Amino acid sequence: MARITPFKAGYCTHIACMAMRGAGFNVCQFPARAWLIEVDGYRWLWDTGYADYFKQYTQTGIFKLYQKTTPVYLNKGESLKEQFITLGIDLASIQNVIISHFHGDHIAGLKDFIHSHFICSQQGWKTLKPLRGFFALKQGFVPDLIPSDFEQRVSFVEHFEICQLAPELAPFTQGYILPNSKEQVILVPLPGHAVGHIGAFILTDKGWTLLASDAAWVKENYQDLRKPSRFAQLIMADSRAFENTLNQLHQLSYHPDVTIYLSHEGEE
């Protein structure tokens, strides 16, 4: 069975009610999480969290607003590259980095993985690739975080083999088999939060786990259907699709043998 190991690479702060209506104006930490996925010696990294590149490319110009809106905290030794070196994990052993979506807190470390190939949504990449300045910022996309040879190293989810999902994963019915995962990692669209936003169903020895990325920010979003603030919905790619995805997660959460992990939950 697949094995997943969680990591945290920095965090940003924002007021609680941005993630959930009625939660108040206290400032909360939103950790930038990533996961190492392993199947029979094959390794994928799910997102990268923050890295020093984020601060470097949001120091000046319009992207400075990104840093001002969601202040980022990343101490020495907290980037995934530094954590992997400390743990003795060879960065060259990460065959692929899977990008759930192209917001800065999910791709800031891409340039550290010079030996890895990338996997993402073709829809997401083709939509964001030409954007610059204000239009990129509006999508939470910092173009300079993308490696110069990205297109020579990327594969698109939409080109992978489609499969039917196990009945216990309803209402989700179809997904894309991650190559070399022995059908233990199935990628699924989770639209709404960002263009091309994806998640991953992973079969571990404890059952199915869904890495849902930013399909919700806190469990209450999908368990109790307590939505994010209306302001947050204004900057989503598709707020109606986001609500539909929340409803799907709500239904999925009733399955006792399925665990849902979000990228930013877990810290007050």
| Residues 54-63 pLDDT 10s | 999 999 899 9
Q: Looking at the domain assignment, is residue 193 inside a domain?
A: yes
Beta strands in the chain (DSSP E): 3-15, 27-39, 42-46, 72-73, 96-98, 117-120, 154-156, 162-164, 174-177, 185-189, 198-204, 207-211, 258-261
- pLDDT at position 268: 41
pLDDT recorded at residue 258: 95
Give a yes or no: residue 224 inside a domain: yes
Q: Within a domain: residue 105?
A: yes
The reply to whether 49 falls in a domain is: yes
CATH number at residue 20: 3.60.15.10
In a domain, 12, yes or no: yes
Instruction: Please indicate, yes or no, if residue 165 is contained in any of the structural domains.
Output: yes
- As a whole number, mean pLDDT of residues 10-39 equals 80
Parent domain of 22: 3-261
Average pLDDT, integer, range 123-127: 98
In a domain, 267, yes or no: no
For all residues of the chain together, what is the average pLDDT?
92
Are the C-beta atoms of 160 and 125 separated by less than 8 Å?
no
Q: What is the rounded radius of gyration, in angstroms, for the C-alpha atoms of the chain?
A: 17
Domain count, the chain: 1
Asked whether residue 266 is domain-assigned, the answer is: no
In the chain, how long is the greatest CA-to-CA distance? 50
**Mean pLDDT on 180-205:** 97
pLDDT of 52 above 70: yes
The predicted structure's pLDDT at residue 213: 97
- 166-188 pLDDT, tens per residue? 999 999 999 999 999 999 999 99
Residue 112 CA neighbour count, 13 Å, CB half: 24
Q: Has residue 21 got a pLDDT over 80? A: no
Q: What is the pLDDT of residue 254?
A: 93
